[in-house]
Each structure stands twice: as C-alpha cells, then as structure tokens.
Structure 1
Amino acid sequence: LSVKTGQTNSLNQVEAKLQNPEPGMMRDLKVKTKVTKEGDSKVVLQNEKSNMAMAPNSNFSYAIPWGSTQLAAGTYTLTLDATAKGGYHWHFTKNFTVTQKEIGQLANKYNQPQKNYFWWFVAGGILIVLLLAIIIYLLLKNRRKQDEDD
C-alpha cells in the first residue's frame, strides 16, 4: 500500500493504492478516509465512497480529492477504513509527505496553457473565402467571354 499526491482531470488529489489479495470479488466495498497533519487531530481532507466492487487479486488508486483545500508542504497521515461484503474489514494508517516541489508540479500541470486554435480557424476561414471568391470570379469571367463569343 502506498500514498502519494496526484492529479486526474486537472484536479489535485491524494491517491491511496488499495489491494485485494483475495481470490474472490469484493462487493459492496465501502471506503472512508481522512487526512490529518501528522501529529494533529484536525481533519484536512475526508472522503467516503460506497457501493464499489474490486476484482480478485487486483489493486487500484483510490482518489481523495483536495477540492478547494490546498495542502501545504509537510507530512500528513492518511487513515483509511474499508469494509466489504463477506466480513472483510481493513484499517490502516500511513504517513506521507507532500513536498513543495510536488505542489509546484501539480500547480504547473493544472495551469498548463490550453492550445488555442482560434487564429488557425480564422486563417482557414479567410483562405476558404478567398478561394471561393477566385473561383466565382473565374467562372463569371469565363461565362462573359462565352456570351461575347455567341
């Protein structure tokens, strides 16, 4: 099991890797999490999800979104309780560190400028209009010449 910071769809999150070592499917999986500053009881982040399932002998990253909370650099404690149908129950506590570098990288990912194709579309539109104007001009010129010849 590991805990780290990450980002999905430009949303910052704490990711806890969960594992099902059992050969059977876990049904009605319910996960409750809370994140506190190490040595402090004040909850910084919390999350709860239920009605999940987990395949046999598998693992996945369980996301705890930051939401509007901005984590500062420091050491945090993740407390996770998971229960599933069939009497499965896990409780674990794990410390993890958020560095200033990680915060900067997540901010840079989030603030990446989106590619703007507006001016390419404008230039393409102008080019199409010019080509249509030239074609119409040539067709009209050719028609006038044919009318004069007749």
Structure 2
Amino acid sequence: MKEIYTEIEINASVSTVWGILTNFDKFPMWNPFMKKISGNLQEGASLEAFIQPPNSNGMTIKPKILEYQSGKKLRWLGVLWIRRLFDGEHSWTTEEINENKTLFIQKERFSGFFVPFGSTLLKNTKAGFEQMNLALKKECEKN
C-alpha cells in the first residue's frame, strides 16, 4: 500500500471551501487536475471524473462514494480495470482552523497488485494534488 498526503491552509471559511469543492459544474474553470466531475454526493453513489495528472493524457474514473459528510469529508474508491489490481481510496477533508481559515487535506491510499510498479503515476498524481490544492486556495481566496 502507498499513500499520497497533501494539505494546504486556505484563508476562507469551511463553508466557502466546501462550496467550491462540491460545485462540480465549475471545476473546468479552476481545477488543473480534476478537470471534470459529476454525480450525486451521497454514500453508495458513483461519480464520473476526468483527472489529468501532470505529464499524462488523463483518464476517466468512475469511483464509488464510501463516505460523505457535508462540509467535512468526501471519500471514494476508484478502481483501475478490475478490483485489487490498482485501487485508490481518495479523500477530501476540511478542518476549521478558525472561522476564516480552513485546513484542506487531500489524500489517496493506493493498494493492489500493480501499485509497486506505479511510481511514476504516484509521483504525477501527487503533483496533481498539489496543483489542485493551490488552485483551490486561489479560488477560495478570490471572494
């Protein structure tokens, strides 16, 4: 198992950050990593997302939501090809530092047979998370 962990402090309220994170229609306007995402935000539902880590052509994934706590956490499981080959459990978490400052945590735990061979994908994905985090910060702090 491998894990990517990123975090960033955003000078905005949790509700502002969460509102931008869950307004999927606007992702193409600000998100350099997750270019498109759609679906219902509820446990058990499936999403469809187009992700494009740096130095890649991108791919469409159809993860299933494992946990959804409005304003706090979204966690899903994405599977590449078939289960247990290269699975990724992705999460976004927001933590209130104070009423105008939020800690945004984005992480993913990878498991499966092909994970040991995916070091380039993992490195590019981490860079994509960092780009998205910075873009989210910029978008939230515009208001």
Which of the pair has more CA radius of gyration? 1
Fold shared per TM-score above 0.5:
no
Q: Relative to total residues, which structure has the larger strand share, 1 or 2?
A: 1
TM bracket, shorter-chain basis: under 0.3
- TM-score, normalised to structure 1's length? 0.26
